[in-house]
Amino acid sequence: MENLFYAVRCASVLALAFAVIFYRQMKKEDEGTPTMRQIAQYVREGAMAYLTQQYKIVLRVFIVLAIFFAILAYGFGVQNPWVPFAFLTGGLFSGIAGFIGMKTATFASGRTANACRRSLNSGLKVAFRSGAVMGLTVVGLGLLDISLWFIILNACVTEATLAQKLVVITTTMLTFGMGASTQALFARVGGGIYTKAADVGADIVGKVESDLPEDDPRNPATIADNVGDNVGDVAGMGADLYESYCGSILSTMALGASAFYAVSPEMQMKAILAPMLIAAVGVLLSVLSIFTVRTKEGAGMSQLLKSMSFGTNLAAILSGVATFGILALVFGTGDNRWWQLSCSVLSGLIAGVVIGKATEYYTSHSYRPTQKLAESSQTGPATVIISGVGLGMLSTAIPVIAIVVAIVLSYLFAIGFDVKNMMDAANLSQGLYGVAIAAVGMLSTLGITLATDAYGPIADNAGGNAQMSELEPQVRERTDVLDALGNTTAATGKGFAIGSAALTALALLASYIEEIKIAIGRTAGALINGVDAASASILDVLEEFNVSLMNPAVLAGVFIGSMMAFLFCGLTMNAVGRAASKMVVEVRRQFREIKGILTGEGTPDYKRCVEISTKAAQYEMLLPSIIAILVPVATGVVLGVAGVLGLLIGGLGAGFVLAVFMANSGGAWDNAKKYVEEGHFGGKNSDCHHATVVGDTVGDPFKDTSGPSLNILIKLMSMVSIVMAGLTVGFHLL
């Protein structure tokens, strides 16, 4: 058992070691011509300046929250003394993951452009290996933090029994998840607003009004746009997936400790170890598969795609197979648990694949939906928007069905299909453990899926660099191929990310109830539903707090939760709208006031545009993020435990569906535009093209700001509720 824990730490070190190796390899590449270096330098400086600013603001929020937690913990004793530290650490490591990813990306994009001058394969290698740096950093840091905290808390926490101690340790570690989620939300929202303000602004004045191509150096917002890709799509995504990865493992650990509380401390240990070990093996498989991604010289797009899909599919299949082995090793083959739980993991994996395929079907222009969307451009921008909204809404059906099937199956497998007693106390918590571990399975090969995701923006930026440095058109074509490929492989990644978010959020619901038990248990001799707090089941807690579906507090919570998803999106959408307007006004001003920009004789004031995006993003990210933290607390105080559970369930249901809708509408608009640009319906600069550009512009905040932030929102609200459970139990109106 000790050895297996050791293996987890080894895996994390291995991941980080390979991240360093790939980083060094990338750094050895040549940065190209002086212009290329210059532009890469601009982008790097802008990105670093933004990230520094953002982290300063986030740091203040963290300090305020940590002090608040410290008061709750040390002043009122309604919280664990480790909470403030775990919270800060989670935020810190999430920030580091984003920082490293972004630093790598800003060094890599110029080098990718330069490598593309040699060949497509060289470009792929540089971009992909740099994406892998981020992928491996995220999983490496995640596993490292989790195992270190486990060791620390294991050494320091004292409780009456070992069983109780394990429950307290694992739920305390969820605070670490809350830190990661909080920082991820800021990173996603701030980065998302930054990148889309610049992108939308650049597109509207550049493409629509002045017919400039993408990334044209004459467009003053170009540098800001390229900086945006780094702070939004790279740093934001890194923090986001760090949060998802840790969240899924931590929530499974917490559920494992409580599900087997009544069985034995040994079983608890096994249940805690299982998710860590699945993740650790996933790291190994990721590293292995990363090496399989390579192309021959002169490889076409389809071969590239095959090579990359081969890598991710290989990792996923091996991980599915390995799960059976791991769980046999952990739980032993004495009873059926090992293969039953493995089937739970498989259910999750299959759901992830289905969601990914559905995403691809609805958003890739190789399929009918997006082609039809492009067709609707023949009747103008209004029908493009109507059809795109319709498409996105329809596209929610398959992912929801997939996730519903995964939830039910992973639950039923975990309890050995004991349908008749499926809601018995023991079955309930062990079934939910099955749901939670399915999410871990989905994310176990994050190392490589994130690599295929993160290399997209690197290729995108490489294209920007090539365009601005006025390299041969061939280079731009190659980076475009890489970028397009990234969009397709990213679909799979998105499927796993959103699917795992839903499953993790469910697991967190159960953890919330566990934390309620602990909060009550702090008062010595406290009873829950007439049972000693520590031995009370989930159902006891629900009954004690009148958590029934017909409780008006639950129903009120469901309404508020559904509203939160929309409110949050509304705030971020408006933020992008406002910031983009500022950018448009500025770009128009430069075209008007700086002589000769459009003829290429004058130099635009890039810096001013970078400043506008930076300021707007910092200012606008605060309100939505703070609301996300405060509403669960306020709901708890007014509506009590029942209200909070309603809030979380309503937010989960509406948030998941809304996130899929926004991501897919946005993706389809993007690719419909590309489809027209490939020569359909009149091709570039036709009326149809202009109509699809409107769609693409609208889709930008859908898919890159509001949509992905929802994943984090769903989980952050749960984690806030968990951390604040002590307060809710101590004080509530209803």
Judged by CB under 8 A, the chain residues 189 through 208 that form the site for a copy of itself are 200, 203-204, 208
CA distance 359 to 505: 21
Binding region for a copy of itself (CB under 8 A) out of 162-170, 215-223, 380-388, 489-497: 380-388
Minimum CB–partner distance for residue 79 and a copy of itself (Å): 24
Closer by beta carbon to a copy of itself, 142 or else 431: 431
Which of 506, 518, 628, 633 is the binder for a copy of itself (CB under 8 A)?
506
| Lookup result for tokens 């590309």 | 674
**Tokens 């795609």 map to which residue?**
305
The verdict on 553 binding a copy of itself (CB under 8 A) reads: yes
Please provide the DSSP assignment of 296-350 as one string.
-TT--HHHHHHHHHHHHHHHHHHHHHHHHHHHHHHH-SSSSHHHHHHHHHHHHHH
Min dist CB 406 to a copy of itself, Å, is: 10
Confirm if 652 and 506 have CB atoms less than 8 A apart.
yes
Determine if 378 is a binding residue for a copy of itself (CB under 8 A): yes
| Residues 109, 130: Cα–Cα separation, whole Å | 9
* Residue 269 contacts residue 1 (beta carbons within 8 Å): yes
Site for a copy of itself contains 542 (CB under 8 A): yes
Per rule CB under 8 A, count of chain residues that contact a copy of itself = 96
Does position 329 interact with a copy of itself (CB under 8 A)? The reply is no
Tokens of 500: 């795992």
CB contact burial 700-733 (16+ within 10 A = b; e otherwise): bbbbbbbbbbbbbbbbbbbbbbbbbbbbbbbebe
Q: Which stretch binds a copy of itself (CB under 8 A): 35-43, 417-425, 464-472, 716-724?
A: 417-425
Based on CB atoms, which residue is closest to a copy of itself, 64 or 423? 423
Interacting span for a copy of itself (CB under 8 A) from 129-137, 319-327, 436-444, 546-554: 546-554
* Dist CA 123 CA 301 (whole Å): 13
**Which part of the chain contacts a copy of itself (CB under 8 A), choosing from 28-36, 60-68, 228-236, 388-396?**
388-396
Q: How far apart are CA 163 and CA 167, in angstroms?
A: 7
Choose the binding region for a copy of itself from 69-77, 139-147, 242-250, 541-549 (rule: CB under 8 A).
541-549
Residue identified by tokens 């608040």 is: 68
Helix 473-521 / helix 301-331 crossing angle, nearest 10 deg: 20
Is residue 14 within 8 Å of residue 447, measured between CB atoms? no
Burial letters for 430-444: b for 16+ Cβ neighbours within 10 Å, e otherwise?
bbbbbbbbbbbbbbb
DSSP letter string, 29-59: S---SHHHHHHHHHHHHHHHHHHHHHHHHHH
428 binds a copy of itself (CB under 8 A): yes
Beta carbon nearer to a copy of itself, 70 or 393 = 393
User: CB-wise, 443 or 538, nearer to a copy of itself?
Assistant: 538
Residues 677-716 that bind a copy of itself (CB under 8 A): 693-694, 697-698, 701
Q: From residue 523, how far is each of 258, 532, 625 by CA, in Å?
A: 19, 11, 33
404 lies in the site for a copy of itself, by CB under 8 A: yes
Residue 379 makes contact with a copy of itself by CB under 8 A: yes
Candidates 78, 224, 278, 391; binder of a copy of itself (CB under 8 A) is 391
Among 301, 328, 400, 526, binds a copy of itself (CB under 8 A): 400
Of residues 342 and 396, the one with the C-beta less far from a copy of itself = 396
CA distance 20 to 14: 10
Minimum CB distance to a copy of itself smaller for 132 or for 558: 558
Query: Do residues 133 and 104 touch, judged by C-beta distance below 8 A?
Result: yes
What count of residues does the chain have? Answer: 734
Kindly state whether residue 371 participates in binding a copy of itself, applying the rule CB under 8 A.
Answer: no
135 binds a copy of itself (CB under 8 A): no
Residues of span 664-683 touching a copy of itself by CB under 8 A: none
Strand locations in 371-430, DSSP E? none
Q: Which residues from 466-495 bind a copy of itself, rule CB under 8 A? A: none
Backbone angles phi, psi at 216, to 5 degrees: -70, 130
- The token duo for 361 is 């079907």
Residue 203 CB, nearest approach to a copy of itself (Å): 8
Counting contacts by CB under 8 A, is residue 433 touching a copy of itself? Answer: no
Query: Which one of 105, 116, 308, 657 is in contact with a copy of itself (CB under 8 A)?
Result: 657
The least CB distance from residue 341 to a copy of itself, in Å, is 16
Told to check if 224 binds a copy of itself by CB under 8 A, we report no
Binding of a copy of itself at residue 394 (CB under 8 A)? yes
Taking CB under 8 A as the rule, does residue 634 contact a copy of itself? Answer: no
566-625: contacts with a copy of itself (CB under 8 A): 566-567, 569-571, 573-574, 576-577, 580-581, 584-585
Query: What single letter denotes the amino acid at residue 65?
Result: L
Q: Could you please report the per-residue DSSP string of 233-297?
A: IIIIHHHHHHHHHHHHHHHHHHHHHHHTTTT-HHHHHHHHHHHHHHHHHHHHHHHHHHTT----T
Q: Residue from 548, 603, 634, 685 that binds a copy of itself (CB under 8 A)?
A: 548
Nearest CA to 718 out of 662, 661, 636 is that of: 636
Q: Name which position in 108, 235, 290, 407 contacts a copy of itself (CB under 8 A).
A: 407
Supply the Cα-derived Rg of the chain in whole angstroms. 25
630 near a copy of itself, judged by CB under 8 A: no
Question: In the numeric block, which tokens belong to residue 480?
Answer: 């475009």
241 to 280, contacts with a copy of itself by CB under 8 A? none
Q: Can you tell me which of 556, 610, 637, 663 binds a copy of itself, judged by CB under 8 A? A: 556
408 makes contact with a copy of itself (CB under 8 A): yes
- 290 or 725, CB closer to a copy of itself? 725
* Residue number with CB closer to a copy of itself (148 or 422): 422
The stretch near a copy of itself (CB under 8 A) out of 21-29, 40-48, 397-405, 600-608 is 397-405
Q: Decide: is 173 part of the binding site for a copy of itself (CB under 8 A).
A: no
